[in-house]
Amino acid sequence: MSVPQYRKAAALALVAGLGFSLTACSTKSGDKDTNAGGKVTITVDCQPVGAQKELLKNWNDDVAEFQRQNPDIVVKSVSVGEQCNNPPDFTARLAGGTVTDVFYGYMTDVQQVLDSGQAMDIAQYANKDTIPTWDSIDPALKEVFTDGGKLYAVPVKNYSMGLIYNKVLFQQAGLDVNNPPKTWADVRAAAKKISALGNGIAGYSEYSAGNTGGWHFTSLLYSQGGRVLTEDGKKADFNNAQGKQVLQNLKDMRYGDNSMGSRQLLQWADLLTNAGAGKVGMFIGAPDATQAIVSQFQGKFQDWAMAPLPGQDGAAKGTLGGGEGYFFKKDLTPEQVKAGMKWIAYQKLTPGKGQFDYVRAKPQNYPVGLPQPLLFANGSDAQKQELELRKANANVDTANFAIFEATPVPIKGEPRNAQAIYAVLDAAMSGVLTNPNANIDALLKTAEEKVNQLLAAES
Amino acid sequence: MAQESGTRTLISQAQLSRGRGRIIYWTLLVVVVTGFTLVFLGPLYWMVTGALKSGQEIAQTPPTLFPKDPQPQNYIDAWNNLELAKLLFNTFYYAIGAVLFQLVFDAAAAYSLSKLRPIFGNVILALMLGTLMIPAMVLIVPQYVTVIDLPIAHINLLDSPFAIWLPLVANAFNIFLLKRFFDSIPEELMAAALVDGATPLRTLWSIILPMSRPILGVVAILAMTAVWKDFLWPKLVMPSPQTRTVSVGIYSFAGGTPMNVVIAASVIAAIPTVIVFLIFQRNIMSGLTTGSLKG
Amino acid sequence: MAITTVPPTSRTAGRPPSPYPARPQRTSLGRKVRDNLTGHAFLIGAVLCFVVFSWYPMVRGIVMSFQRTRRGETTWVGWDNYSRILADPSFWPAWQNTLYFTVLALVVGYAVPFFVAILLNEFRHAKGYLRILVYLPVMLPPASALYLFKFYAYDPSDAGLFNAILKALHLPTSQWMQSPDMTMPAMVIASTWMNMGGAVLIYLASLQSIPGELYEAAELDGAGIWRRIRHVTIPQTRLILALLAMIQIVATMQLFIEPLILANGAGAEDSATTVAYLIYQHGFFQNDLNGAAAVGVIMLVVLAGFSAVYLRLSAKQD
């Protein structure tokens, strides 16, 4: 082979390989070059999206102010979409290792985060020096993020579910806004009156798709005093009077009274979209659902109030709780971890700053005065400060939440294997909400068998 | 198009232009043209006007034919809130890149397999064609874990356009189409070129490729459509809002956006391709029909 | 398969020897590669892509389906993933639904484009217009088309387009995606509407290549329209029909975006769960990529079995 030909062929091979060499340039760099110019750089996710204009501005202002106070730290914000933790995307980022240095997750994600091996133990860094309010944080929340004596995340929010209701529709239907339904029978009666307003308004609305149906079934079951799994977590425990009552209540409202609207198979955003459009009288959810209705679904926060979760004949026997925190990606330098902690402390855990900057939030279209985020332990200094600020700047009628706060309902967490079980329970929920002849006993029996099978295969 | 000359089809021209046949033909034509317009344009009309309706009007029974109180704001919200410009740009960027990568690598490989006799050529071809039977869904999980950590190189392609471009190069159907075409180019032409001292590259460039325009067009159209239509793969490998494609973007935003705005976004997203299609429809149609597949 | 693209020059009979050096016997592999460097350089890009994104994942998928990754550590678990997948309550419904859809799609989504093509091929007028109409939905992003169906056509209240039409015609209305019986048929309608354009064009092309004399001869024999379709049109387009049937079955087995958007995933009482959705649900909701890989392998085995039967049947026919 002549030399020129050889050279040409080599050039060709080069071109062929180009696709691969180019990829090297395109992958994320900068994860490691953190100490450029003596500054510590951290990436943080869950920045609000562009459509949430005020929230985004608040966040950016917080970053600017934080960097002014800490000139040696650079915070790079990453937005991961309107729902900071959309399970498939979250899984993809975890599996792909593209989570940010400091990343957002739910309490229920701890197992998955540990499985992915992406998070680091931050126990030695979490203390009063990095997070001034650390000792005020409810120990139960820290416990959730602890595994085998190691701490994996800093809690930033905690909530429990209650009954959220639309005051405007309540008034239109001649219901007393200050006396929300206390039992499921009350809910049914109120729903009937609200749906009589017509115009496609549902008195009560409920999920039945995308695993959210099972999630709410769990909460409804807790209100009845039931539980999803037996104590040892080996068997399903909802095919009983309590589980039947949950489905019967829904069936009565859906087909007995026709007070749940005709559009079913709803998942998270579908219900909130309808709620934002003023088409939903009541639904169960955490206080921040009202925030979402306002910030994403064009609703008005003044319209909404919250009561404790109703029970079957009196107060609810339990409710579903959850929360969120920030994890730290493995292999961060100690400086980065400390910088991340400082940022979280500033933006999430300081009364009067960041998420607790109620003075700033008051004139904005966001509710202040919601009974959340329930971060600080009862009686702690931080809790008192936060409460005073909240009361002083409330722009919603705190009376609406007074009953919710005054009636503490025992909080229970999610069952193990939650997503798989929820997928099974979706079918029971969709059955009762889309089939007028649904056989509740059969639906529960099938779901029970399925969950037992699933648990047996898992162990 | 090919039919104007009056090639004989199922029913003869004579039968159609006489008496009863003529009446039936015209009746049927009118029925079909009206029916097809309703079935294929009707929903699009419904979509364009539906996005102009208010939330209340949408829920009205029976539905209204014209929006009573048009809300162009829905379109403006869709454009701004979904950052449609970005999504459309991404999609076209991925599509054009996919076309280039497939044309370059697949044509080169097909040329090599067809004319240059590489070692194990037949084995390689057989292995490639074997993948035709494997649907994308079967490979989605292992492909995904491969893309997030490329073997040996240990590069993560998540959010990089190469995660869309490179797997598409592994397209046995393209290679098969191209190789078949190259096979049918007479060897004498190659021999003549060789005698003239042309290198294989030169032969490819100045003899083979100019003759292969129709098939290259087909590969380009298929590559475009594949990117345009794909959903799960871009959803998985482009998880960031900045890198999403149009379909994935609309899906993600549908979870946090009122229904009318979602529909408005769907309309806007469809406009560029429909325009491109209407402009190039003759080329696309003839490319897809006469160029590639015949019974 | 019958892909007969004819280049502008005429075809030559037989294959003259390649002008490039024939492979010398008994030389080392390295020597062979060097001798035909250009040939191999041309091949390398595509081959690398196949290795990395097709052949290797294939093997890896099978390996993964026997492993489990927990806490960053991967262990060999034998058939555990398979038994877990088989115990998944959605496993059998997913297969049932997928097969049901495949059959429905063969009846509707496969036959309709064929007859539409036959019809269009007979028209001497408005041909271009009709063709563009049929192809137009293919141009929509799939999510756009599906939201159109979800929000407007399949709205279960009387405000929905389909229900409004049914009501105007005094026919019973339907709950569409909320009715387990209607879920799959409704999905087939949406899917056919948005995808049939491509198939129609391909059929049209193959119809145009049928020699007119065959129809004339059949007509002289006194064959009516239906007999002409049966004895001329179908046999003449048999290869393309078979090819598209194969492509369609492989495509419908991967049904994903339709249930995801139209039914929010599983639908009423699991009536919309498909095998592809099962893979997605395991891999990306339940933190179970290994289980998802096992579903993939099962799908592969099923399709391989199907292809084998298909090839046997078509071999017998020839």
pLDDT above 70: residue C48: yes
Question: What pLDDT shows up at residue B163?
Answer: 93
Q: Which residues pair with A104 in a beta bridge?
A: A326
Rounded average pLDDT over A171-183: 92
> Across the interface, do B169 and A19 touch by the CB < 8 Å criterion?
yes
pLDDT attached to residue A148: 86
**Beta strand residue intervals within chain C, DSSP E:** 67-70, 73-76
Closest-CA residue of A relative to B78 is A51
Q: Is C84 on the interface with A (CB under 8 A)?
A: yes
B181 pLDDT more than 50 = yes
Nearest CB neighbour to C18, from listed B117, B135, B147: B117
Decide if pLDDT at C15 tops 70: no
Q: Give yes or no for residue A175 having a pLDDT over 80.
A: yes
For chain A, give the number of residues.
459
> Is A80's Cβ below 8 Å from some Cβ in B?
yes
The mean pLDDT value for A28-42 works out to: 60
Residue A11 has pLDDT above 70, yes or no: no
Residue B277's pLDDT is what? 83
Check A264 against C35: CB less than 8 A apart.
no
> What's the rounded Cα separation, in Å, for the pair C194 and C173?
23
Q: Supply B88's token pair.
A: 């459309």
Q: What is the mean pLDDT of residues C270-283?
A: 89
CB C256 within 8 A of CB C277: yes
Q: How confident is the model at residue C19 (pLDDT cuts 50, 70, 90)?
A: low
Report how far residue A66's alpha carbon sits from residue A349's, in angstroms, rounded to the nearest whole number: 13
Residues with Cβ < 8 Å from A292, sequence gap 6 or more?
A272
Decide: B74 and B52 in contact? Cβ < 8 Å. yes
1.20.120.1730, 3.30.565.10, 3.40.50.300, 1.10.3720.10: which CATH number matches B82-256?
1.10.3720.10
Say whether B3 and C121 touch across the interface (CB within 8 A): yes
Q: Which residues contact A360 (CB under 8 A, 6 or more apart)?
A: A58
pLDDT of residue B259: 80
Averaged confidence pLDDT in chain A: 84
Q: Which CATH superfamily is domain A162-321+406-458 in?
A: Periplasmic binding protein-like II (3.40.190.10)
User: What single DSSP character describes residue A163?
Assistant: E
Residue C97 confidence (pLDDT): 92
A419-423, C1-5, C208-212: least confident range: C1-5
Asked if A270 is an interface residue toward chain C (Cβ–Cβ < 8 A), one would say yes
**Contacts (Cβ under 8 Å, ≥6 apart) of A231:** none
As a whole number, mean pLDDT of residues B131-149 equals 87
Is the Cβ–Cβ distance between B210 and B233 less than 8 Å?
no
pTM here is 0.82
Q: Is the pLDDT of residue A63 over 90?
A: yes
Highest mean pLDDT out of A48-62, B9-23, C48-62, C81-95 = C48-62
Residue C219 has pLDDT above 90, yes or no: no
- CB contact under 8 Å between C50 and B170, yes or no, is yes
Sign of the C-alpha dihedral computed for residues A236, A239, A240 and A246 taken in this order: positive
Q: Give the chains touching A; criterion: ≥3 Cβ pairs < 8 Å.
A: B, C
Of A78-87, B166-175, C248-257, C297-306, which range is least confident? A78-87
Q: What percent of chain B has pLDDT over 70?
A: 93
* Gap from B243 CA to chain C (nearest CA, Å): 17
Across the interface, of C71, C89, C156, the residue whose CB is closest to A453 is C89
Beta-bridge partners for A447 = none
The pLDDT value given to residue B6: 52
Enumerate the domain spans of chain C: 31-64, 91-272
Chains in contact with C, counting 3 or more C-beta pairs less than 8 Å apart as contact: A, B
Fold observed for domain C91-272 = MetI-like fold (1.10.3720)
- Interchain contact A211–C (C-beta under 8 A): yes
Q: Look at A263 and C88 and tell me if their CB atoms are within 8 Å.
A: no
DSSP C68: E
Nearest-Cα distance to chain C for B159, in Å, is 16
Q: Is C32 exposed, middle or buried (0-12, 13-18, 19+ CB in 10 A)?
A: middle
Q: Which of A264, A303, A297 is nearest to A281 (CA)?
A: A303
- Residue C315: its pLDDT value, please? 73
User: What does the pLDDT read at residue C27?
Assistant: 61
Tens of pLDDT, residues C132-148: 899 889 888 899 899 98
The reported pLDDT for the residue numbered B83 is: 84
pLDDT value for A329: 93
pLDDT for the residue numbered B115: 83
Task: From B126, B122, B117, B124, select the one nearest B190 (Cα to Cα).
Answer: B117
For residue B156, which residues of chain A lie inside 8 Å, CB to CB? Answer: 27-28, 96-98
pLDDT of A126 over the 70 cut:
yes
Interface check A116 vs C, CB under 8 A: yes
Fold classification of A38-160+322-401 (topology level): D-Maltodextrin-Binding Protein; domain 2 (3.40.190)
Average pLDDT score over residue span B32-42: 90
pLDDT for res A36: 52
CB A191 within 8 A of CB A282: yes
* Chain A residues inside the 8 Å CB shell of B116: none
A124 band by pLDDT with thresholds 50, 70 and 90: very high
pLDDT at C8 exceeding the cut of 60: no
B chain contacts of residue C58, beta-carbon cutoff 8 Å: 131, 134, 139, 142
Q: What does the pLDDT look like over A269-312, one tens digit per residue?
A: 788 888 888 889 999 998 878 877 877 777 788 888 888 899 99
Give me the residue spans of the domains in chain B: 2-73, 82-256
Q: Do A16 and C264 touch (CB under 8 A)?
A: no
**Mean pLDDT confidence for C80-85:** 90
State whether C265 and A17 contact (CB < 8 Å).
no
Radius of gyration of chain A (CA): 25
ipTM value for the complex:
0.85
User: Which residue from B66, B34, B33 is spatially nearest to B50, judged by alpha carbons?
Assistant: B66
Q: Is the peptide bond before B62 cis (omega within 30 degrees of 0)?
A: yes
For range B190-214, the mean pLDDT: 83
A162-321+406-458 matches A38-160+322-401 in CATH topology: yes
Domain range summary for chain A, segments of one domain joined by + = 38-160+322-401, 162-321+406-458
Contacts of B257 in chain A (CB under 8 A): 269, 273, 296
